[in-house]
Amino acid sequence: MRLIAHLLPLLLVAVLPALAKDDTTKDDKKTTSATDGILTLDGTLTSSISEATVPTGHYLSYTSTITLDNGHTVTSTGTGAESTVTSSSSSNGTTTSGNATMVSTSSESLTLLVGGGHTGAANGSTNATATASTSASSTPVVNTQPCNGYTEFCSRKYSNITMVAAHNSPFVKAGNAAANQAFPVTDQLDDGVRMLQFQVHLINSTLYLCHTTCDLLNVGTLEDYLTTVTKWIKTHPYDVVTILMGNYDYVAPGNFTTPIQNSGLMDYVFTPPKIPMALDDWPTVSNMILSGKRAVIFMDYQANQTAYPWLMDEFSQLWETPFSPTDSDFPCTEQRPPNLSQQDAEDRMYMANHNLNIDVSIASISLLLPNTAALNQTNAVSGYGSLGLMAQNCTAMWNRPPNFLLVDYYNDGNFNGSVFEVAAEMNNVTYSAKCCGTASAASNLMPGVSTMGALLVMAGVQFLVSSAF
């Protein structure tokens, strides 16, 4: 049976044209039926997301703030994980707090990083071009060193920036329907992606990066991926990178410490001064850069910040719009965590899920796969279903732009780099970089026209593997 499981993808690829021709459309559903002589596929592609595809892990809830001392350990917890107290922690750089100018002597290329507040507003939000603090008797301080690509970001709080996030960042594999990106993580970071999101699965005591199941798409170990990310962070000292890990199997957080330490990432991990971090609790980007703690790590489920303060619980500090949407309307309503109050939603960061999917149900298997055929509009700057329109709607609804724009195939859109243009508009800065990726990596992009055939291939593989074991 294992041999058949390995040979089946090759057999199915040979009959892709026949499979694609058997598609029929009726109303908002597509009924598929195809036979390759070995396996018959029958199923329905629906336009609405199945309840079974939305994660339902345990959500933490805090009523006050847990204090961390300078050693980043919990010193006061009130009544435990459900309570909190204000606190602070020291930073490891040559900085001062508040609105003061931050001067670094650690690098000749870094002249000044301006810390503090901001002025102006964009689209009714607080994301606006920042200015240096000045005095009447001195020359205005001008920062010339970009932070996360823009000098304006240096004086802004981490929670006051809109960042492009790569949905399922590691899942890059040509011709695989479960892939979500065209270019590897180094190219993603070079192009301006600043949040890396992905699923992690525990197999035989090792954490692997897999999409839904490791029989469908397995791109290697978490440790190897984080090693690559750490090398990039090490050579880009003026950038802050956010990592959002999906704990797919709901395993204990202690399983994540070894790969993070072995990758070298631990040297750069940011530990928050409070648990949880409210919107205004975050330091400025320049503060994080000067402290050297430039990797922010979130985990969606099973985080235990009293044991691992740096492995931050996502949903007590950040909320999301509807998960893996199949609706081109892309509503800006809060979905996870459920039942969040208006006040709590306004007091924390939020991520807009803008990766359009097809909900595939074949042979009793439910899969969410990227709708690659619609990428030019989904990742566009304007128009119905576009990233730009969604960001504008969210900004109007919440009086501030999303902190993270989660997208598939970030390089695609109505032009190369359109997702970064949207983020720049939200940040009130000018996007002038070139995008995207390298020529050698360009072949990884799966054309939208092959989506249906690839869906059937992957569904067939998953069905046989599940049946074989």
Three-state SS for the chain is CHHHHHHHHHHHHHCHHHHHHCCEEECCEEEEEEECCCCEEEEEEECCCCHHHCCCCCCCCCCCCEEECCCCCEEECCCCCCCCCCCCCCCCCCCCCCCCEECCCCCCCCCCEECCCCCCCECCECCCCCCCCCCCCCCCCCCCCCECCEHHHCCCEHHHCCEEEECCCCCCCCCCCCCCCCCCHHHHHHHCCCEEEEEEEEECCEEEEECCCCCCCEEEEHHHHHHHHHHHHHCCCCCCEEEEEEECCCCCHHHHHHHHHHCCHHHHECCCCEECCCHHHCCEHHHHHHHCCCEEEEECCCCCCCCCCCEEEHHHCEEECCCCCCCCCCCCCCCECCCCCHHHHHCCEEEEECCCEEEEEECCEEEEEECHHHHHHHCCCCCCCCHHHHHHHHHHHHCCCCCEEEECCCCCCCCCCHHHHHHHHHHCCCCCCCCCCCHHHHHHCCCHHHHHHHHHHHHHHHHHHHHHC
> How far is residue 120's CA from residue 128's CA, in Å, rounded to a whole number?
6
Q: Is 236 a catalytic residue?
A: no
Q: Is 201 a catalytic residue?
A: no
Burial per residue of 257-270, b for 16 or more beta-carbon CB atoms within 10 angstroms, e otherwise: eebbebbebeebbb
**Catalytic annotation, pick one of 58, 118, 201, 211:** 211
**Catalytic annotation, pick one of 167, 201, 236, 354:** 167
Q: Catalogue the active-site residues.
A: 167, 211
